[in-house]
Structure 1
Amino acid sequence: MSKSASFLVEGNAQLSGSIRPQGAKNEALQVICAVLLTAEKVSISNVPNIRDVVRLIELLQGLGVAVEKVSDNRYTFKAENIDLDYLQTQEFVQKASSIRGSVMIMGPLLARFGKAVLPKPGGDKIGRRRMDTHLNGLQYLNVDYRYVREEHIFLLETEGLKGNFILMEEISVTGTANVLMAASMAKGVTTIYNAACEPYLQQLAKMLNSMGARITGLGSNRLVVEGVDQLYGTGHRCLPDMIEIGSFIGLAAMTKSAITIEQARVDMLGNILPTFERFGIQLEIQGDDIHVPAQDIYEIQNFIDGSVLNVYDSPWPGFPPDLMSILLVVATQARGSVLIHQKMFESRLFFVDKLIDMGAQIILCDPHRATVIGLERKSQLKGIEMTSPDIRAGVSLLIAALSAKGNSRIHQIHQIDRGYERIDERLNALGANIQRIEQ
């Protein structure tokens, strides 16, 4: 998967058939870090084979974790012989700084070994993503840290984790995950208030409990953790990726295609389906599958008083920020107008200039808000050459390109590969024509 690879996308795509979402990226990053909490074997299935997950697994292998790839999407991990000296190497710094998920090795390493090193982590360029929530939460558990500015690394250590009452300063998924993993082996009781409660966090807590942890309050913003001395091996299966599910709904709507999304865990999708329905998109729930029928026109609803719909992202169970760019693209061909308000990240809307070049009617009000005036299919988007700035914007541009008139070329598709497993192959199986061009 070269960083210089591109997608050549044929427009006017008419897709049909069934597709199964990959395992959840954000959950996989959390539960893979959790294997560091025990010396026993942990088996994880439905792991997405994507760049960020593969890089995290390679990072753990460098630390000494024995990893066996049982099949494409199932791994076993045994963190029996951890090499803490690896934390001081340039290779560790390089690998850990390349992925945002590496931040979640802090909690497990502190819980088992009393020390951790973390370079300033990478990830999407979607605005400031502070480390304060992680570090302040760990401080409450008796962790000391310092930042070595010349090397851009955090050094953390503890003489022993101690339970405490922690009021999280923001609802951070990865911050909550880090503190939760550390607290699971701290002395005494920890209460984490203002905790994130995403399904992925619930899954992490269930996995930890199956390893011997004592966590209550799952699914709420108040987690109570009774620390234990040791955790054990377990088996775990990741949820289907809700962001892929939302992406496929948007793809079906934009291309007027009939698509069935299989085994979607509808019970864990929160506000996602009702929000797409407010855009006039028909959804048929068939057991645990979602069928999106072919639809020529979909109409955005107004608020009850007749004012223009305002859709914004918020912590779970609100609408997830990773799907805001998908909604924005879907709105470009809807009947009606909508204000898209991306509250949680400040640079997520900076891809709309590409959509405007394709013919969309969008007013970028500021870094957080964009007004979309739907074209109602009266004017088709046109194919252009463009670059993917991050994972979610990249897939949004891919969806726009598949619906457009003519061909498009999308550069920097390694961003898409970071979050979507073999997306070109899987969509081509539905009737798309996406060529991967290696340069």
Structure 2
Amino acid sequence: MATFHIEGGHKLAGELHPQGAKNEALEVICATLLTTEQVTISNIPEIRDVLKLIEILTELGVKVNRVQKGMYLFQADQLDMHYLQSEQFAQQATSLRGSIMIIGPLLARFGQAYIPQPGGDKIGRRRLDTHFVGLQKLGAQFNYDPDKHFYHVETEKLLGAYMLLDEASVTGTANILMAATLAEGTTTIYNAACEPYLQQLSNMLVAMGAKIDGIGSNLLRIEGVSELKGCKHTILPDMIEVGSFIGLAAMTSSEITIPNAGVNHLGIIPDSFKRLGIQLNIQGDSIHIPAQDSYEIETFIDGSIMTIADAPWPGLTPDLLSIFLVIATQAKGSVLIHQKMFESRLFFVDKLIDMGAQIILCDPHRATVIGQNKKHQLKGTTMSSPDIRAGVALLIAALSAQGESKIYNIEQIDRGYEGIDQRLNSIGAKIERVD
């Protein structure tokens, strides 16, 4: 287990280049299972979760070649389906929630797939019903072994169908979409997730020969084809990392530039930061955040307290609410943070309260933050990272705090952020990784 030792209170200055989007990488890497031909993917973030998925595919029989940093070749022409029933697969897939997205492609190509109960962040209940109900609509049979905690899906033939998803699940939509590309007939998915990750996956599938209409909307129509071919695909910059860097600049009163930020794919994220009083200068595809000694939270038109809440795209992504909450602790004014999608994601606020933040945890989904306008600096403390996003939020808090902090369980941060300590140290941070 590794620990971050952080010396807080230093201003940072320079450029931070965002890595490739983790969530997109997990989807498009799974999509390589849909074809026997070679697929080239660039701008892959070499982080724990992504590398673990690549390892799973390698054990499954996919030929993987790392051409250079971030660029990989995949060819799934000879797969060992027996591996899916092995103890090794059970151990690997259980620790990676994104592994659930291999079942759609495997079901479409081979008529069956196995997956253990996936793991991942401890952020509350994350059900899989949308995945399996959607696949059942296409003609799959679903079985669950409660003793081994293993799911098994199988089919003689997938047939296109109309479906209304019970929730706009990103990974659920991705799984169903990938399976539908090789199903016979037309599939219509209503209430589909439409995040940039899904748009990128859809564009990649079209490049492979899939027929998909409605990309970017919540109504997708897929005309099944008999086979898909290889392609080349480049992953977008990670919007969550871009948002994290904006929050870092605000909290540490630092001047930071984020080049190649994928501005056209950020949706309402920039405007949401502006509602907290953070200045952003967008120049082409770069974002410049000037050093601010103070930033003030807006109120609603009637003067009531501002609410920042997550929502399915094009609403605000839930992965950034931890960052918004931390930023608000040093703003002028108050805000209600409403985390609608995951009931345990706000429980890290007790660590911020220990650091001197004024936060009222109303319930598992809502927290009221009373900003201190940087008049009372947070104080360093010892804490543990509960999940990827909260871990980075705590790291940002520690970098802005007075004194030294320690963050344990930083493997959670490494799952989503590549070499974050090295990159931040390069612009003036004081972070030491201790094994």
2:116 to 102, 119, 129: 119
Are positions 1:185 and 2:194 aligned together? Answer: no
| Residue type at the aligned position of 2:172 | G
Matching of residues 228-267 of structure 1 within 5 Å: 228-267=225-264
Unaligned runs of 5+ in 2: none
* Alignment correspondent of 2:368: 371
Between the aligned partners of 1:145 and 1:361, the Cα distance in structure 2 is 48
Give 2:94's aligned residue: 97
Distance 1:320 1:230 in 2: 34
Q: 1:292: which partner in 2?
A: 289
Which residue among 156, 181, 203 is the counterpart of 2:200? 203
Q: Which residue of 1 aligns with 2:220?
A: 223
Q: CA deviation at 1:211?
A: 0.2
The CA RMSD measured in Å over matched residues stands at 0.4
Any idea what SS the aligned residue of 1:402 has? helix
Aligned to 2:331: 334
CA distance in 1 between counterparts of 2:286 and 2:3 reads 32
- Counterpart CA distance in 2 for 1:341 and 1:87 is 39
C-alpha displacement of 1:88 = 1.1
Confirm whether residue 433 of structure 1 aligns to residue 421 of structure 2.
Answer: no
2:127 corresponding residue in structure 1: 130
Deviations 1:101-156 (A, max 9, x none): 00000100001000000100011011011010000000000000110011000011
Q: Which residue of 2 aligns with 1:414?
A: 411
Aligned amino acid, residue 261 of structure 1: I
- One-letter amino acid of the counterpart of residue 47, structure 2: I
Give the Cα–Cα distance (whole angstroms) in 2 for the partners of residues 197 and 258 of structure 1: 33
Alignment partner, residue 150 of structure 2:
153
Distance 1:361 1:70 in 2: 49
Q: Determine helix, strand or coil for the equivalent of 1:290.
A: strand
Q: Cα offset for 1:362? A: 0.2
- Aligned partner (choices 56, 72, 76) of residue 75 of structure 1: 72
**Alignment correspondent of 1:392:** 389
The letter of the residue matching 1:236 is: H
Letter in 1 for 2:431: I
Look up the equivalent residue of 2:303 and give its one-letter code: G
Given the alignment of the two structures, is residue 273 of structure 1 paired with residue 270 of structure 2, yes or no? yes
Superposition deviation, residue 91 in structure 1? 0.4
Return the match for 2:341 from 329, 334, 344.
Answer: 344
Shift of 1:287: 0.9
- 319, 324, 328: which is aligned to 2:321? 324
Give the letter aligned to residue 297 of structure 1.
Answer: S
1:11-30 equivalent positions in 2, closer than 5 A? 11-30=8-27
| Equivalenced residues, count | 435
Aligned counterpart, 2:107? 110
CA deviation after TM superposition for structure 1 residue 72, in Å: 1.5
In the alignment, which residue of structure 1 is the partner of 2:359?
362
Asked whether 1:84 is paired with 2:81, we answer yes
| Deviation at residue 163 of structure 1 after TM alignment | 0.1
Q: Which runs of 4+ in 1 moved over 2 A?
A: none
**Deviations 1:281-326, CA, capped at 9 Å, x for gaps:** 0000111000000000000000000000011000000000000000
Paired residue type of 1:401: A
Q: Which amino acid aligns with 2:324?
A: L
Asked whether 1:423 is paired with 2:425, we answer no
CA drift of 1:371 comes to 0.2
Distance in 1 (alpha carbons) for counterparts of 2:262 and 2:351: 33
Counterpart among 378, 382, 385 of residue 381 in structure 1: 378
TM-score between both structures, scaled by the size of structure 1: 0.99
State the TM-score, normalized to the length of structure 2.
1.00
Q: CA deviation at 1:195?
A: 0.1
CA distance in 2, matches of 1:116, 1:369: 38
Secondary structure of the residue aligned to 1:156 is strand
Q: Which amino acid is 1:94 matched to?
A: Q
Q: How many Å separate the matches in 2 of 1:265 and 1:402?
A: 26
**Correspondences of 1:156-175 after superposition (within 5 Å):** 156-175=153-172
Cα distance between partner residues in 1 of 2:86 and 2:211: 35
1:71 to partner: Cα distance: 1.1
CA distance in 2, matches of 1:230, 1:13: 55
Identity of aligned residues (%): 65
Instruction: In structure 2, give the amino acid aligned to 1:170.
Output: E
| Whole-angstrom distance in 2 between the partners of 1:400 and 1:155 | 43
The 2-side partners of 1:19 and 1:356 are apart by: 29
Aligned to 1:283: 280
> For residue 8 of structure 1, what is the aligned residue in structure 2?
5
Deviations 1:65-88 (A, max 9, x none): 000011121100000100011111
Unpaired runs of 5+ residues, structure 1, are none
Cα distance in 2 between the residues matched to 1:376 and 1:19 = 25
Out of 29, 32, 35, which is 1:35 matched to? Answer: 32
Cα distance in 2 for partners of 1:153, 1:119 equals 4
Give the deviation of 1:280 after TM superposition.
0.4
Shift of 1:13: 1.8
Within 1, Cα distance between the matches of 2:77 and 2:126? 32
**Following the alignment from structure 1 to structure 2, what is the Cα–Cα distance between the partners of residues 287 and 18?**
15
**Matched residues in 2 for 1:67 and 1:166: separation?**
35
Q: Deviations over 1:334-387 (max 9, x none)?
A: 000000000011100000000000000000000000000000111000000000
Provide the C-alpha distance between the structure 1 equivalents of 2:140 and 2:195, rounded to a whole number of angstroms.
26
State the 1:19 CA deviation. Answer: 1.1
